[in-house]
Structure 1
Amino acid sequence: MKAAAALSCLAGGTLAAAGTLNSANKLGKRALEKSDPFYPSPWMNPDADGWAEAYAHARDFVSQMTLMEKVNLTTGVGWQGEQCVGQVGAVPRLGLRSLCMQDAPLGIRGTDFNSAFPSGQTAAATFDRGLMYRRGYAMGKEAKGKGVNVLLGPVAGPLGRMPAAGRNWEGFAPDPVLTGVGMSETVKGIQDAGVIACAKHFIGNEQEHFRQVGEAQGYGFNITETLSSNIDDKTMHEMYLWPFADAVRAGVGSVMCSYQQVNNSYGCQNSKILNDLLKNELGFQGFVMSDWQAQHTGAASAVAGLDMSMPGDTVFNSGRSFWGTNLTLAVLNGTVPAYRVDDMAMRIMASVFKVSKTTDFDPINFSFWTLDTYGPVHWVAKKGYQEINSHVDVREDHGNLIREIAAKGTVLLKNTGSLPLNKPKFVAVVGEDAGPNPNGPNGCSDRGCNDGTLAMGWGSGTANYPYLITPDSALQAQAVQDGSRYESILSNYAADKTKALVSQDNVTAIVFVNADSGEGYINVDGNMGDRKNLTLWRNGDNLVKSVSSWCPNTIVVIHSTGPVLLTEWYESPNITAILWAGLPGQESGNSIADVLYGKVNPTARSPFTWGKTRESYGADVLYKPNNGNGAPQQDFTEGVFIDYRYFDKKGDDSVIYEFGHGLSYTTFEYSNIRVEKSNAGEYKPTTGTTPAAPTFGNYSTDLNDYLFPSDQFPYVYQYLYPYVNTTDAKKASDDPHYGQTAAEFLPPHATDDDAQPLLRSSGGNSPGGNRQLYDIMYTITADIKNTGSIVGEEVPQLYVSLGGPDDPKVALRDFDRMRIDPGETKQFTGRLTRRDLSNWDVAAQDWVVSEHEKTAFVGRSSRKLDLKVVLP
């Protein structure tokens, strides 16, 4: 029950956090390295769109809570304290059990009888809003069936600034609009199923190297502070904040702040990004939780906008907390204002009532720490032995959905006519990636290896497979059905045997190769989360080159966490088809067989650019510290020019396959673009002020009322409580600095409770920003005709040129996935909002439509823009 030192200490050297990312710096110069304060932390808006009813229920509930109950609700119980990867304390007096936080972005981590879904990146490749929603809804249903209250996803950070970054696959795409759609649809799906979604990792969390000091030191790096992502104001708004705005507008209940620093202030105590950008400008009404061990201060993080500490302890299994006892004391001694803890509790409970509608939750029926049926509820303390795993099967028919998403997310990059397969005479499958992991699909903890076929990356963003259909098994089954001859060699190194196999007559050789990555706490073959390079793993490139030199009909299938370098072999005439199958999840083999044999006509589009060299991408992972033993500095000097925007700006021939590229087994013709201007009114900045901070009544200041009630229940080892164990406040805090006043160490206005001015760019009552940003300004239509002989789906993409000298050549703004019969013509409709046509003005601190001529394009990829029209 020890509280943590550093109730008042400010980690990282930057005062509690953060400030104006407003930067008059021109892009290309060093980004800001300082974050100025923004206080106070905004309190909930009782009239916010979509939140009013939840606010009223939350206020009724929170007004009945004691100070200790509020602290209990905001502080995690400690690593391995109970059954989930993270839980907060319960409020049993009011019938609220402990809230369960559980990974992950593609399924329920660490349980059984759950599904393993395709990655976010693979879902993005479908360019299908409906599939993104259905995926989110299915994951939400499974989480609810396990007793989970908050599902820790979806992911917009990393956005994908660097192709080698380890966790890009958890997110969607290095494009803010495609990622924003993925975030919005996934959030709506998860929360419609009755589980709170958690948008993460906020913000600028673009690589694994140096994200945590202890992790980096474990790899031999001598740093004392985490990486700082230095991002200017324009870039922040036009790239990295954009998809989080879409999540907030979709009603997301929680946001997870990230490990690394932003402009040299830790993400979970950065008042600029949490108080100003997220809660003030975007009008976020839910709660901010820390990533696991991303909290570095007590009072400072509270006033900077953090609402929930996860997993609660300062360091795993320390039994000490920045909050818990210390947060109770901070309110009692006036350091943290009572309204701030009230607002924390309000935000948590409003999210509960908005999404779950009730506090009568189903029980948590699994333990993240073991698959055993019986064991201790309090895992680290080994107390409360009972049934902790009920092995509830929550999969329903989600295998069919997974197969559909994975197939419709498979990108046909190249096809000279060998596909689709039609009862080929002889199929030879080659490569480790076609086969099983000899230790089973879950043989490596959190998928921390690359053995057998790759269907998800590694780290906390994983789930246990209920089964894994390998390409070898699915393709063999299809060959048997067709009467084809079938052989496979599931090795990347059996050169002689492979040559003998694929050199025979009538062979269709299918080579499976991969490239893996994941979270930084796992090192696979020297890849410390982030990939060391962009080449294929385990001799993959040599395997492809060898097989294609022996066989004139070689098809290559790539499972990867992002782009790989194809330069040495993609143009070979013997390579007749190349497919990117992403990370397809449990139905991997079935989904690729569906595409190869034409049961699914491929329509997916690449959610990133395939460059010729690693250097051609511009931005890259920072692999070595560059600031002595201090915080490594990563300057986002490229601004908004990442992925296709950067390649377009360079204007060279370093692109192999562009963003949005993907082939079909049929053909389409684009024609007749038209534009209709809407009657949207003039943009009006938001004005006015908030109400004053709401108050919820008095509380006792007598420490005797906060003593641990040992007569009511026994103390559990390392479990974190809101109580004190002595009436000596300094001893209870275990903080040598205890007794300092807020004025001595908190920034000015950190504890203000009077009415605050609204930002001109904020939404007032509209989460997501000024509601007029979402007014439709133009509607673009075009005719799409299927000129082939089979039914197919096409993905028309709407791009815009904003016309300014510092703007991208084109930027994606809308898209659709359309089913079109042979000979049929359908109309594509795309819409452009005011936000779509605006730039962030760093002087006005608002979105502004420039006077430059704007042009809309409709096409099949970022570089195949068949149609264009100047916007009137």
Structure 2
Amino acid sequence: MLMRKRTLISTAIAMIVAAGCGGGHDDNGAPAGTNAHAWMNTALPPDQRTALLLAAMTPAQKVAQLSGSAGVVPEIPSCYGGRHILGIPELQIPTLRVTNGPVGVGQNDCVPPDSVTNPTAALTSTASAKATALPSGMAVAASFDTAVAAQFGDVIGRESRNLALHVLEGPGMNLARNPTLGRNFEYFGEDPVLSGTMGIAEINAIQSHGVIAMAKHLVANEQETNRMTINENIDDKTLHELYLLPFEMAVKDGGVASVMCSYNSVNGFQMCENKHILTDVLRGQWGFTGYVQSDFFANHSTVNSMLAGLDNEMPGIEVGPLVKYWSADRINAALAASQIKQSDVDTALGRRYKQMFKLGIFDRPVAQTAIDQAADGAIARAIGEQSAVLLKNENNVLPLNAKAVHTVALIGQSAYANKAVSGCCGGSSDVIPLYTVTPLQGVQNALKQLGSSATASLTVVADDNSNLQDAVAAAKQADVVILLAGTIAEEGADRPSIELSNNQDAIVTAVAAANPHTVVVMKDNASVLMPWIDQVPAVLETWFPGQEDGNIVANLLFGIANPSGKLPVTFPKSAGDWPANTPAQFPGVNVNGVPTVTYSEGLQIGYRWYDARNVKPLFAFGHGLSYTTFKLSSLQVTPQASDGKKPITVQVDVENTGKVAGAEVPQVYLALPAGLGQPPKRLVGFQKVQLAPGEKKTVQITIDPTSSSHPFGTWDTATQQWTNATGQFQVLVGNGSDSLSLSSTLSVSN
């Protein structure tokens, strides 16, 4: 059988060469007088090019291509990195260069060779090549705008090309199950449809630049505590309806080229060895044709991982107890023992090569070009302005009147008030920014733009609040106070709570008492407790704004931009007012010596839990104010009786009833028929609409029962498939999950 297969491949090569080359040929089957191999013929489809390349490779070359390398990048001698797979020049295989990127092009395989002494240092060096530090993934989700997600991906994809990078490890598509989780800022919030929708837009934009996007981390990487050893127990229904759903959408509608398997185990199987998910679900149920890469050092085996569906081990270096399981010795030993076959190696490589051919990676030089930092910086600023959420604005204290204000006091601890919150703050999210704009610089820029003679000052409060009285004194002397606060988070650790760190609550209380015109600007990982909410007239949530921090915040506060973001996570009133609030749910308990978390809340996370438990949050999912006002009216659902197969159109009029231009986001939720064990409602659609003062637009949002988001669907564990519910649905429309002023009914039958 093996000989017959080789004969067929050889015959195919000969036929392709003969058909594509009218004249003499060199020994590689390429046209005479060229240096190209047959697989470098761009007229051939990726599958054929892949087959040709694999047929030409030696077993040793194939094994070397299975895992990462470290050292100087041959094509770019000025770059030392630990995030690449060394190329094979004689086969015209380029060095495949990988970068992190949930919030911009992060650690990216390029530090000065004389700045590091080992591969591990290269993975964390602050000398990594610079890029635009964009607002966080949570901020992008808060825009509730696929155009913003596409802009985000466009900058990332373009700058990856600028820096001669090929694979972007993002978007992050895990869910904000618990507000204390350290990497919530990298993800798209608590709702799977919002996450999947924004992820699709980002993926399409990244891959339009010929860069491989990598949806991560498959799956249930919802915490950092014990992430290398934790076992997540999740029932099959919950797994499919919540945690797998964004990834399914990314595969089916985003065409994502790669997926990353995570550190954790799911239902007893480490994710890079989880054959059910990597093969049965990802490839079997969803039809994924890309490749699976391990998170860095997430692979724990040689044979089991390859047979489960892993295709590429990263980073491919050994650090202490962290072993390279796909080393030449281990792979060859497994082949010799018939534990794996050569065809398994070919399959793993072929999946990756196909995507590399598809996105043109073989067909362009590995060469760097300059980033247009001004243009990309302007996009970063626009994204931040579209993503900020105006949580409270009592008596319309915002926007600030630059002509009426004479003195502005900026107050806060250094992390939030004295620098841009960019490249926050560790691991995947480390972006070395091209430049930064501090809060004070931003306010000064806005005042100048508006022709104001007002002066702005900055008082940095010590982390122990030892000079709090200085801040109080500054507040008393100012016309208005901009108080900057927040929560810093990073990969590798969860937050101890969602309270403001370093007793920032005391700063807000003291400053607000000293000056009633105190506006609080939050820079957050996710949601945060606000025990002082009644003491201040206005709160603006800006997440992690990135390198344009100062300009974003100032433009919003002074009305140069109008906030239009909506909350992608629920803000609780009190500690513990959220799902997954017991030790068994988070951070986990030991079960037979294994740290174990049980997702016993099932389908009730985020707003679904608050609805089901009738717990009133401080600010609901989907909430967000504006400097203008809007009216939603004239809801129409067409048709109102459906066979569950054809799209449903939800139409609503949105009118700007205020005096300034702004944007509103009508949101569509479905309440499924009773008796299905579902939460009270689920988000199924949304659309941001820009409106001039007095303008009215009719917005149409489509609910497609056959779409990858399964708006009518529930997961049937017995049959391992989605089933569309039938019966009476309620269609709920409004501008927040707790502000659904319009409703209609929908009858669905088989």
TM-score, normalising length from structure 2?
0.84
Match for residue 386 of structure 2?
A: 408
Give the Å deviation of 1:852.
3.8
Give the Å deviation of 1:316.
5.8
The answer as to 2:247 corresponding to 1:234 is no
The answer as to 2:670 corresponding to 1:795 is no
Measured in 2, the distance between the counterparts of 1:57 and 1:148 equals 22
Give the Å deviation of 1:243.
0.5
Measured in 2, the distance between the counterparts of 1:435 and 1:671 equals 40
CA pair 656-131 structure 1, distance change in 2 beyond 3 A: same
CA pair 230-664 structure 1, distance change in 2 beyond 3 A: same
Native 8 Å contact 2:640 2:745 kept in 1: no
What whole-Å deviation, never above 9, does each CA across 1:291-336 have from its counterpart, x for those lacking one? 1111111011110111001112454697854343322342344221
What whole-Å deviation, never above 9, does each CA across 1:433-476 have from its counterpart, x for those lacking one? 57676xxx7xxxxxxxxxx7566332222200122111122113
Give the Å deviation of 1:106.
1.6
Of 693, 708, 724, the residue aligned with 1:849 is: 724
Equivalent residue runs for 1:337-416 within 5 Å: 337-355=341-359, 357-363=360-366, 392-393=370-371, 395=373, 397-416=375-394
Measured in 2, the distance between the counterparts of 1:85 and 1:123 equals 29
Measured in 2, the distance between the counterparts of 1:331 and 1:397 equals 51
Measured in 1, the distance between the counterparts of 2:647 and 2:323 equals 55
Of 112, 137, 161, the residue aligned with 2:154 is: 137
Equivalent residue runs for 1:177-192 within 5 Å: 177-192=193-208
Equivalent residue runs for 1:320-331 within 5 Å: 320-331=324-335
Give the Å deviation of 1:85.
3.6
Match for residue 808 of structure 1?
A: 679
Match for residue 199 of structure 1?
A: 215
Amino acid at match of 1:474: G
Equivalent residue runs for 1:466-545 within 5 Å: 466-479=434-447, 481-492=451-462, 493=465, 494-504=467-477, 507-520=479-492, 529-545=493-509
Higher strand share: 2
Match for residue 699 of structure 1?
A: none
CA pair 323-590 structure 1, distance change in 2 beyond 3 A: same
Match for residue 110 of structure 2?
A: none
Native 8 Å contact 2:423 2:430 kept in 1: no
Could you list the runs of 5+ residues in structure 2 that have no partner in the other structure?
1-43, 74-78, 108-127
The answer as to 2:703 corresponding to 1:828 is no
Match for residue 63 of structure 2?
A: 71
Measured in 1, the distance between the counterparts of 2:46 and 2:187 equals 29
Which of 603-612 and 59-68 deviates more? 59-68
The answer as to 2:649 corresponding to 1:779 is yes
The answer as to 2:132 corresponding to 1:101 is no
Match for residue 741 of structure 2?
A: 866
The answer as to 2:625 corresponding to 1:663 is yes
Equivalent residue runs for 1:540-689 within 5 Å: 540-566=504-530, 568-572=531-535, 575-620=536-581, 626-627=589-590, 630-653=593-616, 655-677=617-639
Measured in 1, the distance between the counterparts of 2:304 and 2:232 equals 20
Query: Percent identity over the alignment?
Result: 33
The answer as to 2:432 corresponding to 1:429 is no
The answer as to 2:417 corresponding to 1:457 is no
CA pair 107-362 structure 1, distance change in 2 beyond 3 A: farther
What whole-Å deviation, never above 9, does each CA across 1:690-712 have from its counterpart, x for those lacking one? xxxxxxxxxxxxxxxxxxxxxxx
Measured in 1, the distance between the counterparts of 2:663 and 2:499 equals 31
Match for residue 125 of structure 1?
A: 142
Which of 630-639 and 840-849 deviates more? 840-849
Measured in 1, the distance between the counterparts of 2:322 and 2:734 equals 56
For the residue of structure 2 that corresponds to 1:352, the secondary structure is helix
CA pair 362-798 structure 1, distance change in 2 beyond 3 A: same
Native 8 Å contact 1:454 1:516 kept in 2: no
CA pair 482-612 structure 1, distance change in 2 beyond 3 A: same
CA pair 164-319 structure 1, distance change in 2 beyond 3 A: closer
Measured in 2, the distance between the counterparts of 1:318 and 1:675 equals 56
Measured in 2, the distance between the counterparts of 1:200 and 1:315 equals 23
Measured in 2, the distance between the counterparts of 1:435 and 1:130 equals 28
For the residue of structure 1 that corresponds to 2:623, the secondary structure is coil
Native 8 Å contact 2:423 2:431 kept in 1: no
Measured in 1, the distance between the counterparts of 2:323 and 2:367 equals 23
Higher helix share: 2
Give the Å deviation of 1:425.
2.6
CA pair 98-776 structure 1, distance change in 2 beyond 3 A: farther
Give the Å deviation of 1:261.
0.7
Could you list the runs of 5+ residues in structure 1 that have no partner in the other structure?
1-51, 213-225, 366-390, 442-451, 521-528, 683-774
Measured in 2, the distance between the counterparts of 1:486 and 1:77 equals 50
Match for residue 259 of structure 2?
A: 255
CA pair 241-624 structure 1, distance change in 2 beyond 3 A: closer
Native 8 Å contact 1:678 1:777 kept in 2: no
Measured in 2, the distance between the counterparts of 1:468 and 1:287 equals 36
Measured in 1, the distance between the counterparts of 2:167 and 2:654 equals 42
**Root-mean-square deviation (CA), in Å?**
2.3
Measured in 2, the distance between the counterparts of 1:245 and 1:625 equals 27
Measured in 2, the distance between the counterparts of 1:65 and 1:804 equals 59
CA pair 196-414 structure 1, distance change in 2 beyond 3 A: same
Measured in 2, the distance between the counterparts of 1:182 and 1:433 equals 32
Measured in 2, the distance between the counterparts of 1:143 and 1:328 equals 34
Measured in 1, the distance between the counterparts of 2:324 and 2:70 equals 8
Amino acid at match of 1:200: K
Give the Å deviation of 1:131.
1.3
More relative contact order, 1 or 2 (CA 8 Å, 6+ apart): 1
For the residue of structure 2 that corresponds to 1:836, the secondary structure is coil
Native 8 Å contact 1:85 1:103 kept in 2: no
Give the Å deviation of 1:652.
2.7
Amino acid at match of 2:65: L
Measured in 1, the distance between the counterparts of 2:587 and 2:558 equals 46
Measured in 1, the distance between the counterparts of 2:409 and 2:68 equals 53
Give the Å deviation of 1:844.
2.2
Measured in 1, the distance between the counterparts of 2:416 and 2:737 equals 35
Native 8 Å contact 2:210 2:361 kept in 1: no
Native 8 Å contact 2:373 2:434 kept in 1: no
Amino acid at match of 2:349: A
Measured in 1, the distance between the counterparts of 2:503 and 2:367 equals 44
Amino acid at match of 1:90: G
Corresponding residue pairs, total:
663
Measured in 1, the distance between the counterparts of 2:373 and 2:472 equals 42
Measured in 1, the distance between the counterparts of 2:57 and 2:442 equals 56
Measured in 1, the distance between the counterparts of 2:284 and 2:561 equals 46
Give the Å deviation of 1:71.
1.9
CA pair 786-308 structure 1, distance change in 2 beyond 3 A: same
Match for residue 14 of structure 2?
A: none
What whole-Å deviation, never above 9, does each CA across 1:322-367 have from its counterpart, x for those lacking one? 3433223423442212222111111001111222x241343265xx
Native 8 Å contact 1:548 1:554 kept in 2: yes
Measured in 1, the distance between the counterparts of 2:320 and 2:625 equals 48
The answer as to 2:399 corresponding to 1:420 is yes
What whole-Å deviation, never above 9, does each CA across 1:186-208 have from its counterpart, x for those lacking one? 11111101110111111001111
Amino acid at match of 1:832: I
Measured in 2, the distance between the counterparts of 1:120 and 1:176 equals 14
